[in-house]
Amino acid sequence: MIELKNISKTFQSKKSTVEALKNVSLNVKKGEVFGVIGYSGAGKSTLIRCVNLLESPTEGDVLIDGTNLTNLSASKLRLERRKIGMIFQHFNLLKTATVYDNIAIPLKLSGLSKAEVDERVKKYLAVVGLEDKTDAFPGQLSGGQKQRVSIARALSHEPEILLSDEATSALDPETTEAILSLLLRINKEFGITILLITHEMHVIQKVCDRVAVMENGEVVEQGRVIDVYAQTAHPTTQKFIDSQFPIEAPASMLKTIAGKGPIVKLSFVGHSTGQPVLSEIVKRYDVHTNILSGNIVQMKDESYGRMIVHISGETDAPKAVQALKDAGVQVEEVNLHDV
Ligand SMILES: Nc1ncnc2c1ncn2[C@@H]1O[C@H](COP(=O)(O)OP(=O)(O)OP(=O)(O)O)[C@@H](O)[C@H]1O
C-alpha cells in the first residue's frame, strides 16, 4: 500500500547540510497500523511528510498502491493525495471557522456539492462523537475534541491512508487513550491503513501491528511489534521498551537479598507464562521466589511481560533458573546494582 524505496532527504542551507533521511525503505501493507518511533531529530516527521510529498525526497521512490508519486504531474499528484489523509500534533484547525466549516471548507474546495458536503460533515462528526459541537469554534474545544475534529476532517475525504504526525503528543494520558482507541476503530471499521509517527512506545504497543525504529535518519530495526519486544536487536529500541518496565525494588529489600541467590530478569509473551512457571519451580525445587518488580503491557493481540525475580535456595537455585529457560522463558541474570 505504501512503499518507500531507498528514500534520502538532505536539507541544504548556506551554512550546513543535514541528512534527515538516509536510504530508508519501508513497506506498509493495506489495512495495517504501522508505527515509526524515534527520539527527537531522528527523521520521523521528514519521513511521514515524504509519503504525501509534502516534502520531496532527494532520492528514492514513494509508491502508493503501486503508483510512483515522485514522477507525477502536479494535477495527478493532487488526485493521488486525495487517497491520503493526515492529522497533526497541533491539530491545524482554522481558528476563525466553526467545527462544521473546518470540515466543510476543504470538501467544498474539492468540488463536492452542498448536499454532499453536508452529508459528509454530519457523518464523520458522528463517527468521532462530536455531533453536538457543530457550531463551536476550536477555541471552545478541549485538545481531545480538537483532535477529533481534525480526524473527522481527514476522514471526510474518505482516504485509504491516514498519516498521523504525533497526533497524541499534546494530549493528557486519558485523552491519548481515547484518541488511540478511535484510531483503532477507524482502522477496523473503514479498513484505513494508518502510518503514525511517535516518540512514545506506549502508542506503538497499543495500536500498531508493525514498527520501525529510527535513529539519525536511518531505520535501525523493524518488525512485528510483539517480535520487537520479545527479541530486541538495537539498543535504541531497548531504551524505548525499558521505559515501560521501570525497576522499583526498595533498597531495604535489596540489602536483605544481597548474596542470597540469583536475581533474574524474565521476559515472556502471553498472560499466563510468567506466574505459572514461577509456582512450578517453587513446587519442583527447594527455592523461594521473590518478585522485585514486574509489568505486563497489553498489545493489540498479545501481551508481553517482564519480571525481576530473586531466587533463593542455595543448591537448587541454578536448577530452577535452568528450568525457567527450558520452559521457554527468556532469562537474563542481573546484578544487584542494576536493579
Ligand atoms: N526544513 C528543514 N530544514 C533544515 N533541516 C531540517 C528541516 N526539517 C528537518 N530538518 C532536520 O532534519 C532532521 C530530522 O528532523 P525531523 O523533524 O524529521 O525529526 P523528528 O524525528 O520528527 O524530530 P521531532 O520529534 O523533534 O519532530 C533534524 O536534524 C532537523 O533539524
4 φ, ψ (degrees, to nearest 5): -105, 120
C-alpha cell at 75: 494535477
Q: What share of the chain is helix, strand, coil (3-state, %, to 5)?
A: 40, 30, 30
Question: Which of these three, 223, 242, 261, is where a domain ends?
Answer: 242
Same domain, 84 and 104: yes
Is residue 275 domain-resident?
yes
CA-nearest residue for atom 25, ligand 1, is: 40
Is residue 294 domain-resident?
yes
Residue 272's domain comprises: 251-333
Same domain, 153 and 20: yes
Same domain, 141 and 289: no
Question: Which of these three, 187, 211, 242, is where a domain ends?
Answer: 242
Residue 111: half-sphere exposure toward Cβ, Cα within 13 Å? 3
- Cα-to-centroid distance, 51 and ligand 1 (Å): 15
Q: Is residue 273 scored above 60 in pLDDT?
A: no
Is residue 85 domain-resident?
yes
Is residue 339 domain-resident?
no
- Residue 21 to residue 280: CA distance in whole angstroms: 50
The 10s digit of each residue's pLDDT in 35-71 is 999 999 999 999 999 999 999 999 999 999 999 999 8
Same domain, 58 and 186: yes
Label residue 337 by pLDDT band (50, 70, 90): low
Question: Which of these three, 186, 207, 242, is where a domain ends?
Answer: 242
Same domain, 222 and 258: no
Which CATH number characterizes residue 9's domain?
3.40.50.300
Q: Is residue 18 scored above 80 in pLDDT?
A: yes
Q: Is residue 251 scored above 80 in pLDDT?
A: no
Domain count, the chain: 2
Same domain, 66 and 85: yes
Same domain, 188 and 282: no
CA-nearest residue for atom 1, ligand 1, is: 11
User: Quick check: 140 and 173 in contact, CB under 8 A?
Assistant: no
318 lines ligand 1 (CB under 6 A): no
Is residue 338 domain-resident?
no
Atom of ligand 1 nearest to the CA of 47: 18
Is residue 211 domain-resident?
yes
CA-nearest residue for atom 29, ligand 1, is: 41
125 φ, ψ (degrees, to nearest 5): -65, -35
Same domain, 236 and 285: no
Same domain, 194 and 256: no
The ipTM is 0.96
**Which residues, 6 or more positions from 131, have their beta carbon under 8 angstroms from its beta carbon?**
122, 125
CB atoms within 10 A of CB 6: 13
Helices in 191-218 by DSSP H: which ranges?
201-207
Residue of 16, 40, 46, 198 to test ligand 1 pocket, by largest number of atoms within 8 Å of CB: 46
Same domain, 34 and 132: yes
45 lines ligand 1 (CB under 6 A): yes
The model's pTM is 0.90
- Residue 307 to residue 127: CA distance in whole angstroms: 40
